[in-house]
Structure 1
Amino acid sequence: MTPTIEVAGLGKTYGSERVLHRLDLSVDGGVLALLGPNGAGKTTLVSILTTLVRPDSGTARVLGHDVVREAAAVRRLVRVTGQSSSLDELLTGRENLVLLGRLLGLGRRARGRADELLERLDLTTAGGRSVRSYSGGMRRRIDLAASLIAPAGVLFLDEPTTGLDPSSRARVWEDVRALATAGTTVLLTTQTLDEAEALADRITVLHHGRIVADGTADELTALVGGQTVVLLDASGSVIGRSETDGTPASVARALTALDREHLASGDGEGTRIELRSPTLDDAFTAITTSRPREEVAA
């Protein structure tokens, strides 16, 4: 089966700054979350995959089409939702969708498709109002509808829930999951780790232009070790910790160690014990700070 996204030896340099360094990546479907600190190369990679930027070396194919030699074919098959709206604020939400549908070749079907998406994203009533009157959450959802007005094999989402309230954010998450379940491959860039954990089937971490980690959320958190037994004082501050692999025997040894170190010395009054597992935030911090830039870019 041909991957929906396939990158081999991809490189990009701006002046003397190497932004991407021989990237290899293959995506077969589902939701891929692309994580990385600012300047890691996420935007450049997405720009190459969506034909906006030409790579200096290597190849990239989307749905079997080379992003350089077959750029027009790629643009017909993918959709992109950025951080800022590209819709006409003077038109209503429905008018924007119908216009885009006609531009993308839907003809008379554009009206029916627009109504279908407005209903699906709970925007039927708002669809009759001008976009400039929309709240932030409604704008993100109408942007998503615009990306889906015509069939798309791959949807690129650039930080889709930035600035949204929790309710609107949860609604966008539901929409993204539904798209992936229906067969659309989603590549999501985000700075929000809980968003990646909630949505992604797979997470790829970029650091200084290289892929430094790739796997499920559980696989990435496993990279930073096992569980930790922590001792908290009455105020909730950590006053002791002991590593454990999570087995009963290991937890018992950790408790004994903490007992010897703190409880027996009189530090036990008002304290409590917690068993903590590493989080994706712990993994991301460890992965992106474990090696200096010179080593990563070597």
Structure 2
Amino acid sequence: MSVNILFAAPANRWAQYETHLRTALDADGLDYVLSTDLAPETIDYIVYAPNSDVQDFTPFTRLKAVMNLWAGVEDVVGNRTLRVPLARMVDDEGLTQGMVEYVTGHVLRHHLGLDAHIVNPDHRWDDAAPPLAGERPVTILGLGALGTACGRALRTLGFHVTGWSRTEKRVAGIECLHGPDGLARALRGAQVVITLLPQTPQTENILNARSLALLAPGAFVINPGRGPLIDDDALIDALDQGQVAHATLDVFRTEPLPAEHPFWAHPRVTVTPHIASETRPPSAARVIADNIWRNETGKPMVHLVDRDAGY
């Protein structure tokens, strides 16, 4: 029996994904119809972007599962009309590699003090060498697929990496902590903090005045995760006081970041426009097709969202 798959995302995404999805679905031997326009009552699966026109899932009476195109699900997980399994985008090697490159690049930028050499109008000749990687402790908040991959890459470069997660995790080469007590231990004395947690009520403002005060004076903050993980006002205060030397921020509570937001003008803030990483159509299509194939052949789907946890 053929399965009907609706692609529900902004129009420009269809051109990016159609060929890759058909290639991946064909490779899995699925008999399917893939379209952006199908009668709701005939649809088995939705390949979904939360900013699509589909917001009410009630008409999809035959729906088996929704395959989210993004890693983040905060804009759909609370939708009360969605009553079927929701899978988030995990194990997309393109998404993961992009995040590893962004994080390691900015960690090395701050670790080596490159900004002072790139912008040096006074021609200062400061020949003080930076410390070695092993002398600069790095903490990653979030040990999911992205946080783990970034931690392993930084560990390979010689950094001592501590990872924190809400539940217990074990990653070779990384000191893994969890829970409220573990959070304070993970942050205390950290010289670089990277936030890669999902956005949930429990993680909102996890970097606030109290937690930022635990960092080593002059620490660096890198946030390619979710904007609400950081209390904006508390971060600006920490920057002004020198507790945080610089913050590199890729995600924000409101996007695009409003022109009047103080982050734009702050000399110790780097704003990047949500480019740390994104889902890559060739690899994401394989993840989606594999999950549909698994469900159609009686195997358990992977990367399903825990509605209670929010991710």
Task: Work out whether the TM-score is over 0.5.
Answer: no
Greater share of helix residues, 1 or 2? 1
Greater share of strand residues, 1 or 2? 1
The TM-score, its normalising length taken from structure 1, stands at: 0.29
Larger gyration radius, structure 1 or structure 2: 1
The TM-score, its normalising length taken from structure 2, stands at: 0.28
